[in-house]
Amino acid sequence: MRSLPPRGTGKVLLSAILSLTTAGALLAVTGRAASAAATGQITGLAGKCIGAAGGNTANGTAIDLYSCVGDPTQQWTLPGDGTIRTAGKCMDVSGAGTTDGTKVQLWDCNGTPAQQWIHSSARDLVNPHANKCLDLTGNSAADFTVTQIWTCTGGANQKWTVPAGTPSDPGGFVVTEAQFNQMFPGRNGFYSYSGLVAAMRAYPQFATTGSATVRRQEAAAFLANVHHETGGLQYVVEQNTANYPHYCDWGQPYGCPAGQAAYYGRGPIQLSWNFNYKAAGDALGIDLLTNPWLVQNDAAVAWKTGLWFWMTSTGAGSMTAHNAMVGGAGFGQTIRTINGSLECNGANPAQVQSRVDAYQRFTQILGVPAGNNLYC
């Protein structure tokens, strides 16, 4: 195990420098078996079904709307990995296009963003890469009306009923549990998906602000920085115990009631220092100053401290990491906020690259572009 070096003595939480390789290779999007697949018809206008044109299954076959006749290609499987499948092939946006009117077709499943779909609580089927909806051409319910992607309008020609049991995107976390497991194949069991989802209730704007693309980019950015901080979610606490006594600032009026060596790094962004435990605890309504061990014993609390920093602290930068992503400043500014004084402006390019690499992998899993301004 790598030890985390001492932190600076400034009044902002600074990230530890880690350069760790995640155990095992990242699995491809189509490389995991989903825990629960939903299978059945997808219906749209006039209660009609979508299927492969003419019942064909060749690559490039258009997907169109026609009466539900029991055609095998009108039976779709949604395995929970973001794909929609029939006849052993995937629903695909032609050429990974992003413009209105781009054809939707069948194609060999290949794990690309063109084959990622989210069924929203509003019954839209959204391709996050294009940030557009599955749409019936001309708003028509006539048999053999072809599908396309189009800017989401809320119109009836973009509303779809999918098989019972299909995971939906209710406007909450945009990362499925299967995708989370792909991102962190070697994670410590402490860092549970359910703990993260529970923690998000404390910060409901996290990964729910902006377009479908922006929401997924923010989730990828947070998890990429977490990946770097914890060696792929392997480490719950700081590994170098010799550093533990360094994180008590007796100059604070509340002191260190849990003890001189109680405020070492814990959790997904390695919360450390008594003043950070006090600030995080006050914000979350939890007495972390007296009981900092909650961060290493309760997964939801651990995740909450990471989200607290992400959503509220400007750290070593000029904006919160949340604002950097939803405001279009880019992933590089999240690095500056978390550890800019030690990594940015050429101070440690290898650490910056580690974060960028993880972010690019995670955006690929979520089917969205990484965007601009990746470096700081």
Residue 229: how many CB atoms within 10 A of its CB? 25
Query: Cα(257)–Cα(289) distance, rounded to whole angstroms?
Result: 7
Domains annotated on the chain, with CATH: 36-158 (2.80.10.50), 186-366 (1.10.530.10)
Q: How confident is the model at residue 326 (pLDDT cuts 50, 70, 90)?
A: very high
State the CB neighbour count (10 A cutoff) for residue 53: 17
Q: Write down the pLDDT at residue 328.
A: 94
Q: CA-to-CA distance for 161 and 42, rounded, in angstroms? A: 6
Identify whether the C-beta of residue 41 lies closer than 8 Å to the C-beta of residue 74: yes
- Using alpha carbons, list the distances in angstroms from residue 307 to 198, 225, 302, 310: 11, 12, 9, 5
| Per-residue confidence band for 183, with pLDDT thresholds at 50, 70 and 90 | very high
215: left (phi over 0), alpha (psi -120 to 50) or beta: alpha
How far is residue 292 from each of residues 61, 283, 286, measured CA to CA in Å?
Answer: 58, 14, 10
Q: Which of 117-126, 127-136, 138-147, 260-269 has the lowest mean pLDDT?
A: 117-126
In which band, very low, low, confident or very high, does the pLDDT at 123 lie, cut at 50, 70 and 90? Answer: confident
Q: What is the pLDDT of residue 141?
A: 95
> Could you read off the pLDDT of 214-223 as tens digits, one per residue?
999 999 999 9
User: What is the set of active-site residues?
Assistant: 229
Torsion sign across C-alpha atoms 322, 149, 95, 173: positive
CB 18 within 8 A of CB 231: yes
pLDDT of residue 15: 34
CB-based contacts of 257: which residues, under 8 Å, 6+ apart? 289, 290
- What type of residue is 147? T
Instruction: Read off the pLDDT of residues 132-147 as tens digits, 9 standing for 90 and up.
Output: 889 999 999 999 999 9
Residue bearing tokens 């978390």:
338
**How far is residue 346's CA from residue 334's CA, in Å, rounded to a whole number?**
16
Cα(292)–Cα(32) distance, integer angstroms = 37
Q: Are the beta carbons of 43 and 68 closer than 8 angstroms?
A: yes
Q: Going edge to edge, which strands form the sheet with 104-107?
A: 38-40, 76-78, 85-86, 89-93, 104-107
Q: What value, to the nearest 5°, has the Cα angle with vertex 309 and ends 303 and 310?
A: 85
Identify the three-state secondary structure at position 328.
coil
Q: Which two tokens stand for residue 232?
A: 């792929």
**What is the pLDDT of the chain when averaged over all its residues?**
86
Looking at the whole model, is its pTM more than 0.75?
A: no
pLDDT band at residue 212 under the 50/70/90 scheme: confident
